[in-house]
Amino acid sequence: MNLYRKILTEPFRTLKNKTFAKLFMSQTASLTGDAFTWLGLALLSYELNPARSAAILASALTLRVTAYIIFSPFAGVVSERYKRKSILWMTQGFRVIVLCLVPFVNAEWQLYVLIFLLNVAAAFFTPTYRAIIPQIVPGNEYREANGFSMAAFQLLSVFGPALAGLFAVWLGTKQLFLVSGFMLTLGIAMILSIPANELQRGLVPAKGSFRKGWESVIKGIRSLFGNRILRFSLSIEFVSAMAGALVLVNTVALVKNSMRLDDAHYGLIMALFGVGGAITAFLLGRLDQTKTRAKSLMGGAFLIGIAVCFANFVSFNGLLFLWILAGMGQTLADLPSETLIGENIPGEDQAKVYGSHFAFSHLWWFIAYPFAGFLGTTFPNHSFLYGGLISIFLAVIAIVVFKPKLT
């Protein structure tokens, strides 16, 4: 009993750290807003053109990760040269402005432009946020803090659509983006309450030319791919992205077209995907040990691949169960990377590596989103089956080629 109590309660000890607690509350508000944004994006894609909803959503999400790929490698360099507090609140403020413009969208190209701009800001915000965590919490609490943070990400980024689905019925699709802007504003308020010097811990401000900045980017990339453990983790994240993109892109059409259900049902099904991921992240943050990393990475890749294989052939209740498993699998496949960077990369280089990892992990989604859109448009009745089988095949290749030895 004491062991179970320890597992369930120790992650909360990180909230005793006031700086982390405020960042966590800011993240919670922001991720709630993000949940409204992405459900609103799915519904707006359907409103713009029901027959092309999967293609529109896939294109918008591809632009999202394009912004990450282009700009996030520079996030670590920027965070070494400017106040991290300023980076956090200014990028979030820019996102609020963009979100207030989305309700006026009436054409596909307008949506694409705003989504790209929205995620240019996120490309600087997220790596900066992640690089702060290992600097402000003690080393013996880092896994718990990272797991706690990832649990909130998994839960709120997907569980939020259940609430957003209800708001969509009440307010309408486009108003969801205004709610998202309000939640981001609450997150900004929490950031502004943190003393700037608290967010600069462990950081020696860097100065230099553009050439020096570019050399820092290259150093981050080399550090990421020069570590065998991180290379294997990235290969598993590619598998997770291929299967996860099927969930994010094609679930709306499966629920609304094939099952002929409403927005609230779509929100609920995506919420269960988030619940599975959040529970797994919360527990894994405490249970994760070096010797379990390989099993976590490989098990997660197979679990999400197998879960999505059966999605085209089950009832709504069956899909609820499968999406819980898929959420668990995605977290098992993705979460170890965050911890591995903090444990294997020197503190002075972590910001660079987090930025590079954020870019390359989203490069996988850049490939996965169009692929999911293609399957959803070309094989609407078997898209999950084909995509799931391909994901499992890629997992086998990753394991055979990289031969992980996590010690």
pLDDT digits (tens, 9 = 90+) for 60-88: 878 887 888 888 777 767 776 778 888 89
CA 179 to CA 196: how far, in whole Å? 28
Token duo for residue 231: 């290379």
Q: What is the mean pLDDT of residues 86-93?
A: 91
Using 50, 70 and 90 to split pLDDT, how confident is the model at 94? very high
Q: What type of residue is 276?
A: G
Q: What is the structure's pLDDT at 211?
A: 55
Which residues, 6+ apart, have CB-to-CB distance to 376 below 8 Å? 54, 55, 58, 246, 249, 250, 253, 383
CA 317 to CA 313: how far, in whole Å? 11
Q: What is the dihedral of CA 211, 213, 214, 216, to 10 degrees?
A: 130
Q: What is the H or E stretch that residue 91 is in?
A: helix 84-101
Token duo for residue 93: 């403020």
Strand ranges in 214-294 using DSSP code E only, listed in sequence order: none
Structural contact between residues 272 and 324, judged by C-beta atoms closer than 8 angstroms: yes
Residue boundaries of the structural domains of the chain: 16-200+208-402
Token duo for residue 325: 């498993």
Which residues, 6+ apart, have CB-to-CB distance to 180 below 8 Å? 33, 34, 36, 37, 40, 99
Structural contact between residues 20 and 133, judged by C-beta atoms closer than 8 angstroms: yes
Q: From residue 75, give the alpha-carbon distance in Å to each of 8, 214, 216, 382, 391.
A: 34, 11, 11, 39, 30
Structural contact between residues 267 and 320, judged by C-beta atoms closer than 8 angstroms: no
Considering the segment(s) 16-200+208-402 as one domain, its CATH architecture is Up-down Bundle (1.20)
pLDDT tens-place string over residues 184-219: 999 999 999 988 888 876 665 555 544 555 666 777
pLDDT tens-place string over residues 312-330: 999 999 999 999 999 899 9
Structural contact between residues 37 and 181, judged by C-beta atoms closer than 8 angstroms: no
Q: What is the structure's pLDDT at 177?
A: 87
